[in-house]
Amino acid sequence: MRLKLVPERTDWDFFRFARLAMLVSTALTLLSVLLVFLIGLNFGIDFRGGTTVRTLSSQAVDVGAYRERISPLGLGDVVISEVFDISFGPDEHVASIRFEAQEGDESVAAETVIRLQQALRVLDPEMEFPLVESVGPKVSGELIQKAVIAVLAAIAAVLFYIWVRFEWQFSVGAVAALIHDVVLTLGIFALLQIKFDLAIIAALLTIVGYSLNDTVVLFDRVRENLRRHKKPELMKVLNLSINETLSRTVMTSATTLLALLALFVFGGDVIRSFVFAMIWGVIVGTYSSVFVATNILNRLGVKRDWSKPQKDAGTKFTSDGS
């Protein structure tokens, strides 16, 4: 008896919900943009400058007491949060303290960190500081810029690749799905106020890769079916392609999610937000390749006459496979 996540043969009508899906996707995308602008992302020190200190103590973390010790130092906006993880022992209590880059400091203020550590050691002389990170305002500005450029460059490169391999309509569909995924990820980060740092950019780019991976597999099948079935209308071909690849789509998403969930639960708190971004990205990416990319392709229409291969940019690297 085999495990089957979806029946071997499906004939579900994915376009029945096309309008609804488009509506929901558009609404969520707009909402995400709104959230990012209204609430804003909870930028980590990589992007806003400042210092984070991780504390490790054998005594329970009392955020109030910590704050009381730290506030006389006049560090401005200080965020103190306790960190939980299943790997911590009963006598391991971890907190993360973040404060802004101090006024007028071009470089990183070492004394500030030392003063903070001294202040906290009053509470627990044995307290350890396993992680201290400081980023100056000069670098953080550049990091944002670089990150944005990296994401845009990735999208542009992929747009170009798909345009070369398929047709421009596919390219638009794939990139729309891609932007949908990235924006929705930014949205959830703004909504839940999860720390957004450099590693999240890596996660975003992975989402870009994953979302495309899914979309491209689907498009590959669409291209093949368009050649095979010349008569039926485009929507039917698209729907057939989705159904045919559905089993694979679900399988791959499931294995990837399994691996990511293991990492989310057992991988430690340091990379949890990073893994969260990827989990979210896989879910959204799977959804978007089925509902967003194909929908856009359906609206844009595709040239159906594939009988003149010399004019088809999309077929020049593929074998007919017969």
Partner 1 sequence: MLQISLWKRILIFGLCLLGIIAALPNAFYTQVEKYNDAAQAIEGGALETTEIKQALDGWIAWMPSNLVNLGLDLRGGAHLLAEVHLSDVYTDRIDAMWPDVRDALREVRAEVGTVRRTDSPVGELHVRISRPENIAQAVESVAELARPLVSLTAVGANDIEVDSEGDRVIIRLTEEEMAATDERTMQQSLEIVRRRVDEVGTREPSIQRQGRDRVIIQVPGIGSAEELKELIGQTAKLTFHPVVRRTSSGLDNPGAGNVIYPSLDEPGQFYVLERTAVVSGDQLTDAQPDFDQNGLPAVTFRFNPAGARKFGDYTAENIGAPFAIVLDGEVISAPTIQDHIPGGSGIITGRFTVEESNRLAVLLRAGALPAGMNFLEERTVGPELGQDSIDAGKVACVIAFAAVLIFMFASYGLFGLFANAALLINLVLIFGALSLIGATLTLPGIAGIVLTIGMAVDANVLVFERIREELNTAKGPARAIERGYERALTAILDANVTTLIAAVILFVMGSGPVRGFSVTLGIGIITSVFTAIFLTRLLVVIWFTWQRPKQISL
- The minimum distance between CB 102 and partner 1, in angstroms, equals 14
- The minimum distance between CB 8 and partner 1, in angstroms, equals 7
Which residue from 80, 194, 278, 290 is in contact with partner 1, where contact means CB under 8 A?
278
- 82-91: list long-range contacts, CB under 8 Å, 24+ apart: 83/54, 83/269, 84/269, 85/268, 85/269, 85/272, 86/265, 86/266, 87/266, 87/268, 91/58
- The minimum distance between CB 19 and partner 1, in angstroms, equals 29
If the CB atoms of residues 54 and 93 are measured against partner 1, the closer one turns out to be 54
If the CB atoms of residues 31 and 229 are measured against partner 1, the closer one turns out to be 229
Tokens of 261: 């969930």
**Which of 3-11, 16-24, 71-79, 179-187 is the region at the interface with partner 1 (rule: CB under 8 A)?**
3-11
Which residue from 29, 239, 256, 286 is in contact with partner 1, where contact means CB under 8 A?
256
If the CB atoms of residues 19 and 138 are measured against partner 1, the closer one turns out to be 138
Contacts of partner 1 in 49-108 (CB under 8 A): 54, 56, 87, 106-108
- The minimum distance between CB 251 and partner 1, in angstroms, equals 5
- The minimum distance between CB 42 and partner 1, in angstroms, equals 19
Contacts of partner 1 in 286-315 (CB under 8 A): none
If the CB atoms of residues 187 and 281 are measured against partner 1, the closer one turns out to be 281
If the CB atoms of residues 102 and 206 are measured against partner 1, the closer one turns out to be 206
Torsion sign across C-alpha atoms 201, 204, 206, 209: negative
Contacts of partner 1 in 9-38 (CB under 8 A): none
How many chain residues are in contact with partner 1, going by CB under 8 A? Answer: 81
Residue type, 291: F
Binding flags for partner 1, 213-242, as an x/- string (CB under 8 A): xx-xx-xxx--x------------------
Q: Is 107:136 a contact under the CB 8 Å cutoff? A: yes
Binding flags for partner 1, 100-129, as an x/- string (CB under 8 A): ------xxx-x--xx-------------xx
Q: With binding defined as CB under 8 A, does residue 321 bind partner 1? A: yes
If the CB atoms of residues 18 and 41 are measured against partner 1, the closer one turns out to be 41
As a whole number of angstroms, the distance between CA 127 and CA 121 comes to 6
Which residue from 64, 90, 104, 130 is in contact with partner 1, where contact means CB under 8 A?
130
Which residue from 75, 212, 242, 296 is in contact with partner 1, where contact means CB under 8 A?
212
Which residue from 83, 179, 198, 240 is in contact with partner 1, where contact means CB under 8 A?
198
Which residue from 83, 127, 132, 188 is in contact with partner 1, where contact means CB under 8 A?
132
